[in-house]
Structure 1
Amino acid sequence: MKDKTPPSQPIEVTVISGEGLLINRKPPTKNTVSVTVKTGPFLSCSTGVDPDGRSFPSWNERIVIDLPEQARFITVEARSGTGLIGSAAIPLTDFCGGCLPDGYLSFVSYRLRDATGEKNGILNLSIRVKGGGQSSGCAASFSKPSMGVPGAEAKPCAGVVTGIPVSYPY
């Protein structure tokens, strides 16, 4: 009997630190903030809690988790106890594919949004696709990023739109 699980490859996410994490506009209490990394609906792994970081926790904790072939992003969530502080969806194109070689270590920082969509802190991470010296499926699926929005005649999911940062006065 064949195994029907979709192919996947491991990624290594190091949760480095957080900045400005708040609960109801107040710093979380000690020993409560952890981070969960999700690569699919049933694939997740969490860090331990930072013993004294409060709103500026530091974990420096490595998580190795499978990345399903059909995944297009990973999700990181900062939690305090059972409550969500904030989350961010990280597109795979930010750390694999295109010009990045297999095994490249990417350092990324993401703004978290709380349940109402308000800004609520930043998570600092490093991410590496553990390709094992082979061409990773991640790099193969995102080998040709395109600029702009695909036209009506383009197939859905035919390419990846690359964003260009623009400053915005708040």
Structure 2
Amino acid sequence: MERTATTVEITIISAEELRHGRRPLDKGAFVAVRSGSDTHSQVATGVDRDGGGYPCWNEKLTMTLPPRSMSVGVYCRSKMGAGAARAVAAAEVPVSDFLWLEDYLHLLSYKLRDSNGVGNGIINFSVRVIGGEGKRGACLYIEEVLNVTASHVSRVHIHLIRVSVSRPRERRRSRR
């Protein structure tokens, strides 16, 4: 069974301890969010002019995740004047961290890394699945991951995982 596109609402709340090189970030920080490597689905916050190394946005961004999306990229950038934006730090967020229940608010904080892989602050945001598959999508996602990463798992195990995620436990009648 194929997954369909899922619409998510991502609220970028704030960032902490952002630096450019060894210096604290002065001002002009913004965040761009995109689905995996898809550059066409990018959405961005406005520029925070006052926060410096501790910018605050509290902006809601809505985007559609393609069916095969495995992660969401969160990219902090800095824009000074009319020049081009420069990369500050980034984090890749696995879709499995928030694609579980529809209308459930997930509050997440991720460590950001610069282009050299060195830690560069923290990003705080929330994610809510507002359209898509809900529990069914989570079951399909788990099944896909198990098929890809552990192909030796039998169909019985996958079915048991799908049942335990998709519906509450039912009492079994004892057979006599």
Bin the TM-score by the shorter chain. Answer: 0.7 to 0.9
SS of alignment partner, residue 142 of structure 1: helix
Report what 1:21 is aligned to: 18
Report what 2:168 is aligned to: none
TM (norm. structure 1) is 0.75
Q: State the shift of 1:131 in Å.
A: 2.6
Q: Among the aligned pairs, what percent are the same residue?
A: 34
In structure 1, runs of 5+ residues without a counterpart are: 1-5, 160-170
Q: State the shift of 1:26 in Å.
A: 1.0
Q: How many positions carry a matched residue from both structures?
A: 145
Distance, in Å, in 2 between the alignment partners of 1:106 and 1:151 is 27
CA gap 1:70/1:53 in 2 versus in 1, 3 angstroms: same
Give per-residue Cα distances to partners, 1:40-86, cap 9 Å, x unaligned: 41211000011200000000000001111110110000001211111
Equivalence map 1:68-83=2 (5 Å): 68-81=66-79, 82-83=85-86
Q: State the shift of 1:138 in Å.
A: 3.6
Tell me the amino acid that sits aligned with residue 54 of structure 1: G
- Of Structure 1 and Structure 2, the greater helix share is in 2
Equivalence map 1:19-168=2 (5 Å): 19-30=16-27, 32-40=28-36, 41=38, 42-81=40-79, 82-97=85-100, 101-131=101-131, 135=134, 138-143=137-142, 150=149, 153=152
Distance, in Å, in 2 between the alignment partners of 1:106 and 1:145 is 22
SS of alignment partner, residue 116 of structure 2: coil
In structure 2, runs of 5+ residues without a counterpart are: 80-84, 159-176
TM (norm. structure 2) is 0.73
CA gap 1:94/1:151 in 2 versus in 1, 3 angstroms: closer
Bigger Rg, structure 1 or 2: 2
Report what 1:164 is aligned to: none
